[in-house]
Structures are given as C-alpha cells and as structure tokens.
C-alpha cells in the first residue's frame, strides 16, 4: 500500500513532472515544509482519493482558481496539468466560459490571458477552432436563444431554475431573461464539455467563491440530475479545502447536505 507521499509524487509525475523540484527550489529558504504539505496532503491525500477521475478534478481546480481570481500563477500550473490529465485546450476554454457566469467577464478575460501563455508553453497550436454552436450559418434569434435556454434549464435545473426566474419577476425581469437566454441559452448549452464536467465546474466555482450557497445548491441538484453521484460531489467539495480554504469547503458541504435532502424530498 502506497503512503501519501508516494501517491502525491505519482500524481505530480503524471500532471506536472517538474513541479516537486520547482517547489523545493522556490521555497527552500523561507518555507521548506510547504512542498511537503503540497505533495503529501494536497496531492497525496486529497487529489489522489478515489471518485472523480483526474480530468474531473482538474476541471474543478481550474474553475475554482479562476473563480477566486487571485491565483494566476497557480491557474497557469493547473491549466498545464489539465492538458496532461487529458483535457483538450478547447475544453479548458469552455471551463473558463462556464465559470465566467459566476465570476464575471473580467475574470474570464484574465483567465484566457493565463491560458494563452500556458498553451504556448505546452506547445499548443493557436488559434483554437471555434465551437459550432448552432446549425447553419445564420445567427440564432433572441427567440432561438430563449427556447434553447429554457430547454437546457428544464433538463438540469427545472424546478430550482424556475424558482429563480419567478423570484425576479417583480423587480428585475430582464435579469431573468439574461439568465435564461445567455447563461443557459448561450453558455451552458454549448457541447464541447459534457454536462457532468459543466456541473462540476459550476460546483467548484460557486463553492470557491464562498458567497453563493443558493447557486451552489442549485448546481449540486443539477449535478445529480446529469448523473454525478453524491460521493463525487462531496469529493469535489473536499478538494476545495486545498484551493479555497477549509471554511469554504465546510460551508459548501453544509449546502450539499441541504441540497441532497431537497433532492430526495
């Protein structure tokens, strides 16, 4: 049976082969124990746990780091790790698009800048192809986007999504339209990422931000609908302790408990 250091080193060698040496060099003079915490605990105890595969875990990590908005160096590292985990460059950009709904356009632009440099360092050929988001050559009409948004929302969030829309009717009906037409109709309806990975990204982003318990619960229930198990959802939230801190993970687990109960009710 491997100990946690062996598991951590094995994962590092798979995702980021040069990282252990870089950590030792960068931290030896000021925090010599930190590399051990990263390798033994973060990689060896958390990221090596059974459950979500490594591409799911990297999806969550990229979404969380982007949503936090204060860790561009670590985001770059994990974008490179995501490529080694089997995510395509286009999938990584799609994770950024999905996370943008929760962290904003500015954070998406910053993350795209980080991704561009990480792709270049990894030898990814740019420009990337665009996703064919609609059949034919004509731009979808507002009615098309609304219809598609309603369909995507019904397939994943249904009751919870409708409750959000209804709650906005008396104060900001346009916001309800933005959620349906843009968030669901233009972003969540895209097909490069599987529904599973989209919901994992949304769970990670809302958990990492730490201020979005209602939205986190909506997307935990949506994740269950698209086939993510309760166990895998809990694993993604445990992972947030490494990137967003233990309080954020604890709060997210409390939200998950409520969401699971509501899904069974």
Looking at residue 229, its pLDDT comes to 99
Q: What is the pTM of this model?
A: 0.95
C-alpha distance from residue 41 to each of 2, 60, 107, 119, 253 (Å) = 14, 18, 28, 28, 20
Local structure of 23: helix, strand or coil: helix
Enclosing domain of residue 34: 1-48
C-alpha distance from residue 62 to each of 14, 51, 73, 95, 204 (Å) = 17, 18, 12, 7, 9
- Residue 155 forms part of a structural domain: yes
| Average pLDDT along the chain | 96
**What letter would DSSP give residue 126?**
S
Q: How far apart are CA 37 and CA 247, in angstroms?
A: 18
Q: Per the structure, how many domains does the chain have?
A: 2
Looking at residue 49, its pLDDT comes to 97
- Residue 63 forms part of a structural domain: no
Q: Which of 190, 213, 230 is the last residue of a domain?
A: 190
C-alpha distance from residue 189 to each of 4, 41, 194, 207 (Å) = 39, 36, 10, 22
**What letter would DSSP give residue 141?**
P
Residue 103: which of 71, 73, 55, 77 has the closest Cα? 71
What band does 135 get if pLDDT is binned at 50, 70 and 90? Answer: very low
Report yes or no: 82 and 41 within 8 Å, Cβ to Cβ. no
Residues 6+ apart with CB under 8 A from 105: none
- Residue 33 forms part of a structural domain: yes
- Residue 14 forms part of a structural domain: yes
Q: How far apart are CA 125 and CA 57, in angstroms?
A: 25
17-53: pLDDT as tens digits: 999 999 999 999 999 999 999 999 999 999 999 999 9
- Residue 252 forms part of a structural domain: no
Indicate whether 203 pLDDT > 90: yes
- Residue 165 forms part of a structural domain: yes
Looking at residue 1, its pLDDT comes to 59
- Residue 251 forms part of a structural domain: no
Looking at residue 133, its pLDDT comes to 56
- Residue 105 forms part of a structural domain: no
CA atoms within 13 A on the CB side of 248: 23
Local structure of 124: helix, strand or coil: coil
Q: Which of 175, 190, 205 is the last residue of a domain?
A: 190
Three-state SS letters, 154-213: HHHCHHHHHHHHHHCCCCCHHHHHHHHHHHHHHHHCCCCCCHHHHHHHHHHHHHHHCCCH
């Amino acid at each position: 049976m491997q100990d946690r250091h062996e598991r951590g080193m094995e994962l590092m060698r798979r995702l980021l082969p040069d990282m252990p040496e870089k950590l030792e060099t960068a931290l030896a003079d000021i925090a010599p124990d930190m590399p051990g915490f990263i390798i033994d605990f973060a990689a060896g105890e958390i990221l090596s746990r059974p459950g979500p595969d490594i591409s799911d875990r990297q999806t969550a990590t990229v979404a969380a780091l982007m949503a936090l908005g204060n860790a561009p160096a670590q985001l770059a590292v994990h974008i490179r790790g995501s490529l080694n985990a089997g995510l395509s460059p286009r999938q990584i950009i799609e994770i950024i698009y999905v996370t943008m709904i929760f962290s904003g356009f500015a954070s998406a632009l910053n993350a795209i800048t980080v991704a561009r440099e990480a792709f270049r360092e990894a030898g990814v050929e740019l420009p990337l192809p665009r996703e064919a988001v609609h059949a034919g050559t004509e731009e979808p009409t507002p009615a098309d986007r609304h219809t598609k948004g309603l369909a995507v929302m019904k397939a994943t969030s249904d009751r919870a999504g409708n409750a959000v829309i209804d709650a906005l009717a008396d104060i900001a009906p346009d916001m309800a339209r933005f959620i349906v037409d843009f968030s669901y109709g233009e972003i969540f309806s895209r097909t490069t990422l599987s529904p599973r990975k989209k919901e994992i990204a949304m769970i990670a982003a809302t958990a990492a931000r730490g201020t979005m318990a209602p939205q986190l619960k909506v997307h935990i229930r949506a994740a269950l609908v698209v086939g993510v198990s309760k166990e895998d959802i809990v694993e993604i939230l445990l992972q947030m302790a490494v990137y967003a801190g233990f309080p954020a993970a604890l709060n997210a687990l409390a939200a998950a408990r409520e969401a699971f109960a509501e899904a069974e009710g």
